[in-house]
Amino acid sequence: MTKDLLKGLNEHLKLEFRASHEYLAMSIWLSEHDLPGFATWMRKQSSDELLHAQRIIDHLVERDQKVALPAIAAPPMTWKSAEALCAHVLKNEQDVTASINELYAMAEKAKDRPGVVMLQWFVTEQMEEEAAARAVLGRIRLAGNTGVGLLMIDQELSGGAVPGMPAAPAGAA
Ligand code: FEO
């Protein structure tokens, strides 16, 4: 693996861990604001981000490359609204996508085939994650950021009815 790609993959870990941390904080805020469907969605996203970081760590370890875990700053614990929160999720995902695309280009240029294959998974995943965040944000903008409209979307998220949303796991709060 080239030094640049190793550095880039280690730096990318920070985006995944930071997203996990932020999504967990968002899930707490959403629970505090009586939006259990949104909270469950963000809790799952938080867990998924940890798995994404783990996927890159496993790749580096399997290839006998040095992993450098990043320091993660404390996330914001309050949000202006559910809409502002979801807009931030979409922006986060777009930033992650940009980083993945850069890493993919680096791996291709270096003819690092295992790296390309590993990053291919992330290319697809990012497309899905952006689509899901965009779908939720779009529905908030359609139905309204407060009151009955927001409650309706919250119920949809509880039942997995929003396109791109997985059904909430059984027993999830
Ligand atoms: Fe792992 Fe949602 O980016």
Q: If you average pLDDT over every residue of the chain, what do you get? A: 92
Across 125-150, b (16+ Cβ under 10 Å) vs e yields bbeebbebbbebbebbeebeeeeeeb
Pick the CATH number of 3-158 from 2.60.40.180, 3.40.50.620, 1.10.10.10, 1.20.1260.10: 1.20.1260.10
Among residues of the chain, what percentage have pLDDT more than 90? 84
What are the sequence ranges of the domains in the chain? 3-158
Whole-number pLDDT of residue 144: 81
Query: What local confidence, expressed as pLDDT, does residue 165 receive?
Result: 58
- What's the angle, vertex CA 1, arms to CA 101 and CA 128, rounded to 5? 25
* Nearest atom, ligand 1, residue 45 CA: 2
Q: Which atom belonging to ligand 1 lies closest to the Cα atom of 48? A: 1
What spacing in Å lies between the alpha carbon of 97 and ligand 1's midpoint? 8
Could you tell me if 45 and 172 are in contact, meaning their C-beta atoms sit under 8 angstroms apart? no
Q: Which residues are near ligand 1 (CB < 6 Å)?
A: 16, 19, 49, 52, 93, 96, 129
* pTM recorded for the entire structure: 0.90
Q: What pLDDT digit, counting tens, does each position of 18-61 carry?
A: 999 999 999 999 999 999 999 999 999 999 999 999 999 999 99
Torsion 101-8-49-82 (CA) sign:
negative
Q: Rounded to whole angstroms, how far apart are CA atoms 29 and 82?
A: 10
Reported as a pLDDT band with limits 50, 70 and 90, residue 173 is very low
Ligand 1 centre to CA of 96 (Å) is 6
The pLDDT-based confidence of 147 (bands split at 50, 70, 90) is confident
List of residues 6+ apart from 138 with CB closer than 8 A? none
> If you measure from the C-alpha of residue 15 to the centroid of ligand 1, how many angstroms do you get, rounded to a whole number?
8
